Amino acid sequence: MKIAVLVKQVPGADSPLPIQSNQNWVDEGAAAFIMNESDNYALEEALQIRESMGEGEVVAVSLGPDRIQKVIREALAKGADRAIHIQMDTEGVIDPLVTASHFDHALKEENFDLIFSGLQSDDLGMGQTGIILGEMLGMATASLAMATELGDGRIKVKRELEAGWFQWVSLTLPASVSIQSGLNSPRYPSLKGIMGAKRKELKVVTPNVVDATQSLEKVYLPKSEKQTVMIEGSADQIVEKLVETFRNEIKVL
């Protein structure tokens, strides 16, 4: 059972992200980088599958500049057997077709049974790379997995639907599944894991050039700075205005 886990390094939630003067991207200098949250859950799911099967290989794969090696080492420390680093500068790269193509190129020869990825990244939030990659590799795909079950050459995935509904879907193998946060309790790297990570294989590959099909024009702060709109009047007047706000401004009615 060969499982690839796509992990991404993203700025932490409380990182300051000042916009560059040319508005092309943010200044990453002061950011604290961490593993994307849903990727962490994907990694844990893969490790648990390998442990329950008693055999198999979990390969962590990540795309980005040098700084992402920290997240790759973290995946190795947690138990991934080896890793692949697709080394490239990612500033301005937002097209999931491009990143998926790079992953496709790096992983094509390896014939993975499963590819796990996080549902979406906390920086760009495109939520497609794992599914696109699956399609490129000729795999069945499913997204928003809240639970997985392997058996009989298939994988069953509990998909999350809107409003508290769920649905089990059974996929043929090989399959690419995107994983939702919260489906397991990710482990913390042990000391032995951290030490051992240094000795595990970390293959660095350089990607080919792939043309982007969507591009980032600029980034900017949301136009409205928080100005609290105070609603006044008698209780009845307030209620009327609130209902109107719910309906027309916030659009929840």
Partner 1 sequence: MPDFQFSNIEKIILTLGTIGCLASFGYEIWRRFKIVLKGRESLPFDRFGERCWRVIREVLFHEKVMGGRFWPGLMHGFVFWGFLVFGLITIDHFATGFGVPLLSESLHHAYSYFGIPFAILVLIGIIALAYRRFMIRPAPLGKTSPTSGFVALFIVVLMLTYIYGEFNLSPIVWKMNWWLHTSVILAFLWLVPRSKHLHLVLAPVNIFFRPFEQPYHTAVNIDLEGSEDELDSMLVDLTRMTKNQVLDVFSCVECGRCIDVCPANRGGGILDPKNHFILDLQQPLLDQGNVDVLGTINVDAGWECTTCQACTEVCPVGNHVEKSDEIRRLEVLVEGKVPQEYQKLFMNLQESGNTEGHTNSPLADRLPSYTPDMEYVLWLGCFARYGLDPNFTKSIENFTKILEFAGVSYGVLENEHCSGDPANRLGDKLTYTMLREHNMEQLAHAKKVVTLCPHCALNLEKEYGKYAEVTYRVSHHTQVIEQLITEGRIKVKKGSEGKVTYHDPCNLSRMLDEVDAPRTAIQASVDDFFELEESGRNTLCCGAGGGLWWKKETKGRTHLVRAEQVVASGADTVVTGCNFCFGMMNQGLKPLTPEGQSEIQVKDVADIVAENMVEISPV
Partner 2 sequence: MMDILIVLEDNNGRIHRMGLESIVAAQKLANGMSLSMGALVMGANGDALAEEASEYNVGEVLKIKNEHLSSYSSDGYAETVKQVIEQENPTYVIFGHTYQVRDYAPKVSAKLMKPFLVDNVDVSPNEGNVVFTKQMFNAKLFSDVTPTGDGPYLISFQSAAFSSEKADVGSAAVRNCTVNLDVSMIRTESEEPFQEEAGGIDLTSADIIVSVGRGIGKKENIALAKELAQALGGELASSRPVVDAGWLPAAHQIGSSGQSVSPKMYLALGISGAIQHVVGMKGSKNIVAINKDPEAPIFEIADYGVVGDVLEITPKLTEGIQ
| Contacts (CB under 8 A) with partner 2, residues 201-220 | 211-220
Cα separation, 121 vs 86, in Å, equals: 17
| Contact letters for partner 1, residues 7-36 (x by CB under 8 A) | -----xxxxx-------------x-xxx--
| Contact letters for partner 2, residues 176-205 (x by CB under 8 A) | ------x-----------------------
| Minimum CB–partner distance for residue 93 and partner 1 (Å) | 23
Reference 75, options 52, 42, 50, 103; nearest CA is 42
Beta strands 154-160; 140-151: pairing state:
antiparallel
Indicate the helix (H) or strand (E) that contains 98.
Answer: helix 96-107
| Contact letters for partner 2, residues 24-63 (x by CB under 8 A) | --x-------------------------------------
Q: 88 vs 194, which CB is nearer to partner 1?
A: 194
Tell me the number of residues near partner 1 by CB under 8 A: 21
Is residue 148 within 8 A of residue 157, CB to CB? The reply is yes
Q: Residue 105 CA to chain centroid, in angstroms?
A: 19
Q: 121 vs 184, which CB is nearer to partner 1?
A: 184
- Contact of residue 47 among partner 2, partner 1, none (CB under 5-8 Å per partner type): none
- The residue from 125, 185, 191, 199 that contacts partner 2 (CB under 8 A) is 125
| Minimum CB–partner distance for residue 186 and partner 1 (Å) | 7
Residues sharing a CB contact under 8 Å with residue 206, sequence separation 6 or more, in sequence order: 86, 87, 88
CA dihedral (201, 207, 212, 216) positive or negative: positive
- Contact of residue 188 among partner 2, partner 1, none (CB under 5-8 Å per partner type): partner 1
Cα torsion for 135, 208, 57, 179, to the nearest 10°?
A: -50
Cα separation, 97 vs 210, in Å, equals: 9
Tell me the number of residues near partner 2 by CB under 8 A: 77
Identify residues 57-116 at the interface with partner 2 (CB under 8 A): 94-97, 100
| Contact letters for partner 1, residues 43-82 (x by CB under 8 A) | -----------------------------------x----
Backbone angles phi, psi at 200, to 5 degrees: -80, 155
| Minimum CB–partner distance for residue 165 and partner 2 (Å) | 5
64: left (phi over 0), alpha (psi -120 to 50) or beta: left
**Given the rule CB under 8 A, which residues bind partner 1?**
12-16, 30, 32-34, 78, 185-195
